[in-house]
């Protein structure tokens, strides 16, 4: 263990191994989980049912993990964009989205991203570093709205399955009875299609899955999503065909509609062919403009026509409501601006 390691973010197996190493009683690991995740207390000195000598050892070896956001931007529609600093000096974002009785938090898994999607501000940063499990969970528990949250979506900065070990550990802590005890049906993980890690997610968790699709034609998808060259969308779909999505778990496909690029009748026909036999939905997403981007969202009539054509062909299709556009809610914009400001540079302006 290093001097920068934290108790918060450790799962039951890790805490059990730690207790064995220190000669603590077998039940001590469960005591630690109650302090860390039920009471959200990570300072050993406050863990009153742990023997004093063990509290002293823990305090010496571990540092605290929970940190408040550095900044919050508020939208007229109630959306909030939280900016967090990481231990390595980078910045990450989380978006809080209230909608009636539903309150969703969009969580980041990496600072930056190496997937390089052409329509994504985070991809322009490149991968700075993957977040620790504690940094992932800190976004959830360190906002004022934590107790009101009904849903989590791993759709923020980064590719969750490019940080699979820490993301899966975070999901375990979120859903385990010794952790936060959330139902997996309250959590959705979005992936661009990291095929080698996809079975791990589907075998080890019961969370919902969202796949970033954006174009059904491999050569066209590769132009905007380089991940297509490493793990083709057809291989991702083949993996999904091995799993049951007819009961509690749901799979959806995210589709940012780009005017004149992926919104034609031939794209509709190919989507239907690609997803044939999979019980799923397609979420159509309006493109949130990012500086110097060549892409545009189509008009409302095109969005509705695209939705209705897919629905008529048997694929349940919805148009996701745009939220927080006045505070740059699209992933990566706020952190990019903050990073550039700290470097004394000016953020690029939208053309």
**Any idea which residues carry the catalytic annotation?**
93, 331
CA angle 249, 137, 45 (to 5 degrees): 135
Count other C-beta atoms under 10 Å from residue 331's C-beta: 26
Q: Residue 34 in 3-state DSSP?
A: helix
227 CB contacts (<8 Å, ≥6 apart)?
A: 115, 116, 117, 192, 193, 194
30: phi then psi, degrees, rounded to nearest 5: -65, -35
Cα–Cα dist 333/328, whole Å: 6
Q: What is the dihedral of CA 258, 259, 265, 268, to 10 degrees?
A: 10
Smallest CA-to-CA distance from 63 within 106, 105, 1 is with 1
């Amino acid at each position: 263990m290093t001097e920068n390691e934290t108790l918060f973010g450790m799962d039951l197996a890790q805490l059990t191994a730690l207790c064995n190493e220190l000669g603590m009683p077998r039940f001590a690991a469960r005591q630690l989980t109650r302090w860390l995740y039920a009471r959200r207390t990570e300072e050993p000195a406050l863990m009153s049912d742990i023997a004093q000598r063990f509290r002293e050892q823990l305090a010496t070896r571990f540092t605290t993990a929970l940190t408040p956001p550095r900044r919050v931007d508020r939208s007229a529609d109630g959306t909030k964009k939280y900016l967090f600093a990481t231990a390595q000096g980078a910045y990450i974002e989380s978006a809080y989205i209230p909608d009636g009785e539903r309150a969703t938090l969009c969580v980041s898994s990496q600072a930056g991203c190496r997937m390089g999607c052409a329509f994504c501000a985070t991809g322009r940063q490149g991968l700075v570093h993957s977040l620790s499990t504690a940094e992932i969970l800190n976004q959830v528990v360190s906002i004022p709205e934590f107790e009101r949250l009904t849903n989590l979506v791993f759709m923020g900065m980064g590719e969750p399955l490019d940080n699979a070990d820490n993301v899966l550990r975070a999901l375990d802590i979120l859903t385990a009875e010794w952790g936060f005890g959330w139902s997996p049906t309250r959590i959705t993980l979005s992936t661009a299609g990291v095929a080698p890690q996809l079975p791990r997610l589907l075998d080890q968790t019961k969370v919902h899955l969202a796949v970033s699709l954006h174009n059904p034609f491999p050569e066209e998808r590769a132009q905007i999503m380089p991940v297509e060259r490493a793990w083709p969308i057809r291989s991702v779909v083949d993996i999904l065909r091995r799993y049951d999505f007819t009961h509690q778990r749901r799979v959806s496909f995210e589709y940012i509609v780009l005017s004149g690029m992926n919104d034609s009748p031939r794209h509709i026909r190919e989507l239907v062919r690609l997803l044939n036999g999979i019980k799923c939905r397609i979420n159509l997403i309006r493109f949130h403009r990012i500086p110097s981007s060549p892409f545009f969202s189509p008009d409302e009539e095109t969005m509705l026509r695209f939705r209705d054509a897919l629905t008529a062909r048997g694929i349940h299709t919805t148009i996701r409501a745009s939220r927080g556009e006045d505070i740059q809610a699209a992933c990566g914009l706020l952190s990019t601006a903050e990073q550039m400001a700290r470097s004394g540079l000016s953020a690029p302006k939208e053309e």
